[in-house]
Structure formats: C-alpha cells, structure tokens
Amino acid sequence: MDKINREEKLRQELERLEWEFSLLYEISNAMRTTLKLDQVLYIILTALTSHEGLGFNRAMLFLVNEGEGVLEGIMGIGPHTAEEAGKIWHYISQSKMTLDDFIASYDIFKRDPESKLNQIVKGIKIPIREDMGILALTILEGMPFEITSAEAKRIVDPEIQRTLNTDFFVTVPLKAKDKVVGAILVDNIFNKKPITKSDVRMLTMFASHAGLAIENSRLYEETVYLSNTDWLTKLWNYGKFHQNLSGELERAKINSSNVSVIMIDVDNFKNYNDTLGHLKGDEALKKIAEIMKNSSRKYDIVARYGGEEFAIIMPNTSKQNARLFSERLRSEIEKSFADDAIAGLPCRLTVSCGIASYPEDAELKSDLISRADAALYTAKHAGKNATCLYTPDMENK
C-alpha cells in the first residue's frame, strides 16, 4: 500500500513539474512577442493572475529607479475589493477567458479608468533601505520573502500593508543576470488560498524569466530612444520630429483640432561660434534646448531640426496661442544671454521664430513646414529676435 501511495505521489509530482515547465515555456514565448516594456509587464502580471497561469488573486510589479535610489510601483493587476473580485471572477467564468485572451486584452486594461489597484500601485515609491520594509529588503537581499504567518507579518511596513489592503503575501526579486531590477508581490487576499512552497518555487523560476524579459525590453527602448534623440541637446531629432508631426496631423484630422508648428533659428550663432569656439557654441545650444523644454507643455514636441535650428509641435493650439508662447520663449532666451552684451561680445544670441498652423495655413505636412519656414525667413530679414506668423503673401518674397 505504501508503495502504491509513493508511486501515486511521484506521479502527481511529475505531472505538476510537467505543468510548471509547460506553463513557463508558454509564458516565455508570450513575453518574446513584444519588446515594448509596458506590454511585457502586462504579460508578466497576467500570467501570474490568470487561472490558466499561476492563479494568484493579485499581482503587483515594482521596478528599481537607480537614479533616485527608490523602488517604484509600475503596474498592478487584480481586484482591490472582495466585491470587485466577485465581479471579475464571474466575468471570467462566463467568458471562459484563456491566458491568450487575457494577454490580448492589454489595450482594454490600459484604457480602464476603474483599475483601482493599478492606480494605487503606480502611486507607490519606496526608498531602497533596510528600514523600509519587505519590498526594499527583497531588492537589497535579492531573495524571496514569504509573509504567510502572523509572526512574519511583524516586519511588514504598516503603511504598505494599509495602502495595498493586503494580509499575507509573497515577494520575489526580478533579476537580470546578477542585477536585481525589481520585485513582484502576489497575494490570495480574497479566496484565502494558501501560498505553498511549490507556488514560491514556481514564482521564483518565473521571476528569473521575467527579469530578463524586462531588462531586454529596457535595453530595446533605450536603443530606440537614443536613435530618435539628438546627442547634444537630448531633444528629439529631425527624423523623430517628422514622425511625430505626421502622427499629430492624423490626430488633428480625426478630432478636427489645430496643430501649430514653430520653426526657430538661433540668431548670430556663426559669429558666436567663431568668437568663442565650438565648445561654448555647444553649451549655448544645450542651454537654449533646456529653456525650450522647460517652457513647453508636457505634450508639446520639441526637436532639434538641424544645426542651430529647432522646431516645436504644439497640438491643439491655434496660431495666435502659439504666437503668445513663442514670444514668451523668445523673451526668455534673450534674457538668458543678456550678460553677453556686458562681456563685450560682438554679438548676443537671440532667436527668430516662424509659425504656421494646420488647417489654417496648410493641410499637408510638407506645406506646413515650408510655410513655418517662410515665416521664419521673414522674421530673420525683419531684423531678427522676432516672431512672425505665416501669411500667404510671404510665398512671393
């Protein structure tokens, strides 16, 4: 009888291992379908919470921000209350959703304003110090923590416990090679299903795959970012400007809205460069770029168009409002180089700006740019350090 029991136990264990490896293979393949970080994170958390996956009630993901020395909440999937859990599980059982179905629903999740857990997680920022609780220790120690008893619960930061409305849970580090890049927290707060040693083992193996997927995605996104960025000013480059303008014009057509383009040229830059040298010239361009970035709205698109020429795309902005912004910007740049006159330099840096708007001045991207350029040409020839709006008579000049 003991022999039969042992054989049955061994058979069950083998079936469990086969399921684990099969699931890891399936999830790893899913993570390889995209290099976009937000989609990779969604796939990871979906695999942790779907019934075809590891089936935890909730999963939350945190990533290390090395610059600030903190652990930041990035994404959370799962219900925040028992009532919400009941609705979700009822919907899942009625819809018979598979793991692939969950992954395919990413766009719905991204637009879902009712995902309270996700909003809460994204508001969490934890200093990575030993006195900051379990999540910080998970990063510092690079090992999982099982908070599955009242005694273990004593070392949990009460604020995190209250914020996440959690009771017993497990955290695991996300590792890429020898580097800890983040942490995952999972719990079964609603169905109270115990988290077993097998669950923790599976979760740890899964986290190894997830950590590498996250690091690969970050490297890819960094490469894409660098390829679209001007090396000196860190603004978008010429190619990215054109790509962004095409996208904004498409949106403007759909929404029947305005897009204004400001072409900006640095006045007297050649003389400045020849007098003070290229290093000072580069510093001046970086300074002007920083002023442009700080003065613009978060959804404006600031680019270095080439040499000493810049461009700003202003969505949902009329030509008159773009002029008001441009004048403030021009004045700010003029003030920032005011000391050059005191230093006795033969010239002082200012900027000239030309503005054209869609659909008022042009409907095609090429026409919009050329008409903003025509306005800029007028500003330069009117004495520089000025803003000009495009008018049809400029075409004849």
* Residue 157 belongs to domain spanning: 2-224
Statement to judge: residues 367 and 330 lie in one domain = yes
pLDDT one-digit tens code per residue, 68-88: 999 999 988 877 655 554 454
pLDDT digits (tens, 9 = 90+) for 30-72: 556 666 777 788 878 877 777 655 778 888 999 999 889 999 9
Q: Is the pLDDT of residue 102 over 90?
A: no
Residue 209 and residue 342 in one domain: no
Is residue 258 scored above 70 in pLDDT? yes
Looking at the fold, whether 51 and 112 belong to one and the same domain comes out as yes
Q: Give me the CATH number covering residue 219.
A: 3.30.450.40
Q: In this model, does residue 103 exceed pLDDT 70? A: no
Judged against a pLDDT cut of 50, whether residue 89 lies above it is answered with: no
Looking at the fold, whether 152 and 259 belong to one and the same domain comes out as no
Query: Which residue among 146, 159, 290, 308 is the active-site one?
Result: 308
Percent of residues, the chain, with pLDDT higher than 70 = 79
pLDDT tier, 266 (very low <50, low <70, confident <90, very high otherwise): very high
| Residue 312 bridge partners (DSSP) | 262, 302
**pLDDT at position 222, please?**
87
Mapped to the 3 state alphabet, what secondary structure does the chain carry? CHHHHHHHHHHHHHHHHHHHHHHHHHHHHHHCCCCCHHHHHHHHHHHHHCCCCCCCCEEEEEEEECCCCEEEEEEEECCCCHHHHHHHHHHHHHHCCCHHHHHHCHHHHHHCCCCHHHHHHHCCEEECCHHHCHHHHHHHHCCCEEECCCCHHHHCCHHHHHHHCCCCEEEEEEEECCEEEEEEEEECCCCCCCCCHHHHHHHHHHHHHHHHHHHHHHHHHHHHHHHCECCCCCCECHHHHHHHHHHHHHHHHHHCCCEEEEEEEEECHHHHHHHHCHHHHHHHHHHHHHHHHHHCCCCCEEEEEECCEEEEEEECCCHHHHHHHHHHHHHHHHHHCCHHHHCCCCCCCEEEEEEEEECCCCCCHHHHHHHHHHHHHHHHHCCCCCEEECCHHHHHC
pLDDT, position 3: 59
213 and 244: one domain? no
Average pLDDT over residues 184-191: 88
pLDDT at position 215: 85
Tell me: the pLDDT tens digits for 136-154?
999 999 999 888 777 677 7
Q: Which of 224, 247, 277 is the last residue of a domain?
A: 224
**Residue 145 in domain:** yes
Q: Where is pLDDT greater, at 81 or 310? A: 310
Same domain, 50 and 168: yes
Q: Do 247 and 196 sit in the same domain of this protein?
A: no
Residues 182 and 253 in one domain: no
Is residue 308 part of the annotated active site? The answer reads yes
Confidence at residue 242, expressed as pLDDT on a 0 to 100 scale: 96
Residue 233, domain member (yes or no): no
64 Cβ contact partners less than 8 Å away, ≥ 6 residues apart: 70, 71, 72, 128, 139, 180, 181, 182
Cβ atoms of residues 317 and 359 within 8 Å: no
What is the per-residue pLDDT for 154?
A: 73
**Domain-located, residue 363:** yes
pLDDT surpassing 70 at residue 157: yes
| pLDDT for position 107 | 55
* Model pLDDT, residue 196: 84
Which amino acid, residue 26? E
Structural domain contains residue 232: no
| Average pLDDT of the segment spanning 208-226 | 85
| Within a domain: 14 | yes
Cα(152)–Cα(330) distance, rounded to whole angstroms?
A: 60
Looking at the 3D structure of the chain, how many domains does it have?
Answer: 2
Residue type, 339: D
CATH number of the domain where residue 367 is located? 3.30.70.270
Instruction: Looking at the structure, tell me whether residues 133 and 201 fall in a common domain.
Output: yes
For residue 84, what pLDDT is reported?
52
Radius of gyration of the chain (CA): 28
What local confidence, expressed as pLDDT, does residue 394 receive? 84
Residues 165 and 264 in one domain: no
Residue 328 belongs to some domain of the structure: yes
At which of 192, 224, 256 does a domain end?
224
Q: Indicate whether 362 and 331 sit together in one domain.
A: yes
Residue found by looking up tokens 């083998």 in the block: 14
Does one domain contain both 218 and 263? no
Residue 230 lies in a domain: no
Residue 197 forms part of a structural domain: yes
Mean pLDDT computed over 347-367: 93
